[in-house]
Amino acid sequence: MTIKEQLQHKINNKTKPLGSLGLLEKLALQIGEVQNTLSPKIEKPAHLVFAADHGLADEGISPYPKDVTWQMVMNFCGGGAAINVFCNQNDISLKVYDVGVDYDFPAELPIEKAKVAYGSRNMRIEPAMTPEECSAAMKVGADAVRKEAENGSNTIACGEMGIGNTSASSLLMHRFIGGTIEECTGPGAGLNNSQVEHKINVLKEVAGKYNPQTPEEILATFGGIEIAAMVGAYLEAKKQNMLILIDGFISTAAVITAIQMDASVKNNCIFCHSSDEKGHKIMLEYLGVKPLLHLGMRLGEGTGAAVAMPLVKSAVNFLNQMSSMEDAGVSNKE
C-alpha cells in the first residue's frame, strides 16, 4: 500500500462514520502525505511577516497613507497587531522582517533587518523592482525560512505589511491567471466604489505598459519587495518539505507566483481561509482548492493562517489520538 492508501485506511478506521470529519480528513491525509508518515506532527510553527513599501502608493490606490506600513511594523514590535494576538494564542513564533520599508527603524527594535530598498518603485513610471532587487528579496524570504527549518520548525506561514500591496497582488493575479483587471481588483484596506474605479484605471495603465515574460520578470515588474520575499520563502519551504499555511489575497498571489516557478509547492500548501477581497475566490478556484475557513476576513498580515492553526492541529490530533474501530470494539458498517 502507498502511504496515501495507508493514511486513508487509518482515517477510515477511526471511531466515526466514514468521511464524517469532512475537510479535516482531507487535511490529515495531506499532512501525512507531505510528512510521509502515519503519525504526522506540527513542530515549532513559525510565522514570518515581511514588510515593505510600494511606490505605486503615490497614485492614491490605497485608502491609508504609506506611513501606516512603518507604523504597523512598530505595532508588531509592541505586540498590538492582530497577528501578534493570534500567534500568541496559538503558540506560533512570530518574526517581522523589514525587507523594504521606507523608514529607518531604531536599531534596538526586535525586527529582522534585511532591507533590500526603501520601497519598490512606482510602476506607473518604472518596474516595481530591478531583477537584482527582486532576487535579493526572494533570498531574504528563503534565508528566513531556512533559519526556521534549522531551528526545528516543520510548519511555516507568511504574512505581509505593505500599504498598496493589494494592487501588486491584483496585477500578479491578472498576469498569471488571466482575469480582467476589474475581476482582479477590489477595495483592499477599504476603498469606496469610486476609489476602486480609480485603482482599476491605474492598474489597467500599469498592466498595459510592460510585457514581462518569465515568472521572475513578472514578479519584478508588478510585485512588491515583501511579496518577492514571500515567493522566496514558499519556494524554500517546499525545499525543506515544510507545511505551508496560506493566508488571503496577497499570500495567494505570492504562492501562485511561486507555483509558476515550482509547481510542486502547491502539494505542501494548506489554504486557510477565503478572503473577502475581490479576486481571492477566483484565485482559489484557479488553484482548485477548498479553503478551511470562511470568516469574511480581509486583513492580511497572515492572520487567516494563524487563526486556522487549531484546525490544522485538530487534523493531526484525530489521526494520532483517536481509537480505531477494532481497538475500541466498535462495530463497523455492514
250 lies in the binding site for ligand NIO (CB under 6 A): yes
Q: Kindly provide the residue ranges of all beta strands, DSSP E only, lying in 178-325, ordered along the sequence.
A: 243-246, 269-271
Q: How far apart (Å, rounded) are the C-alpha atoms in residues 76 and 89? A: 15
Nine-digit cell at 43? 513542530
Residue bearing cell 491578472: 174
Q: Which stretch binds ligand NIO (CB under 6 A): 84-92, 130-138, 204-212, 275-283?
A: 275-283
Tell me the C-alpha distance between 311 and 292, whole Å. 8
Q: Which of 25, 285, 301, 326 is catalytic?
A: 301
Full strand arrangement of the beta sheet holding 93-100: 112-113, 93-100, 46-52, 155-161, 243-246, 269-271
Is the backbone of residue 81 left (phi > 0), alpha (psi -120 to 50) or beta?
beta
Give the separation between CA 142 and CA 294, rounded to whole angstroms. 30
The entry of ligand RBZ, ligand NIO, none that residue 248 binds, CB within 5 to 8 Å by partner kind: ligand NIO
Give the residue nearest to ligand RBZ (CB): 188
Q: Kindly state the smallest distance separating residue 135's Cβ from ligand NIO, in Å.
A: 24
| Site for ligand NIO contains 50 (CB under 6 A) | no
Smallest gap from residue 263 Cβ to ligand RBZ (A): 27
Q: Is position 59 an interface residue for ligand NIO (rule: CB under 6 A)?
A: no
Residues that bind ligand RBZ (CB under 6 A): 62, 64, 68, 72, 160-167, 188-189, 299-301
CB burial readout 210-244, b (16+ within 10 A) else e: beeeebbebbbbbbbbbbbbbbbbbbbbbbbebbb
Q: Which does 249 bind (CB under 5 to 8 A by kind): ligand NIO, ligand RBZ, none?
A: ligand NIO
Q: How far apart are CB 298 and ligand NIO at their closest, in Å?
A: 4
| Nine cell digits for residue 264 | 510542486
CB of 218 to ligand RBZ, least distance (A): 19
Q: Has 334 been annotated as catalytic?
A: no
Cell output for 18: 466514514
Q: Which stretch binds ligand NIO (CB under 6 A): 64-72, 88-96, 232-240, 241-249?
A: 241-249
Q: Which of 155, 227, 247, 308 binds ligand NIO (CB under 6 A)?
A: 247
Q: Find which of ligand RBZ, ligand NIO, none residue 298 binds, CB within 5 to 8 Å per kind.
A: ligand NIO
Positions in the binding site for ligand NIO (CB under 6 A): 166, 188-189, 247-250, 275, 277, 280, 298-300
Active site residues: 301
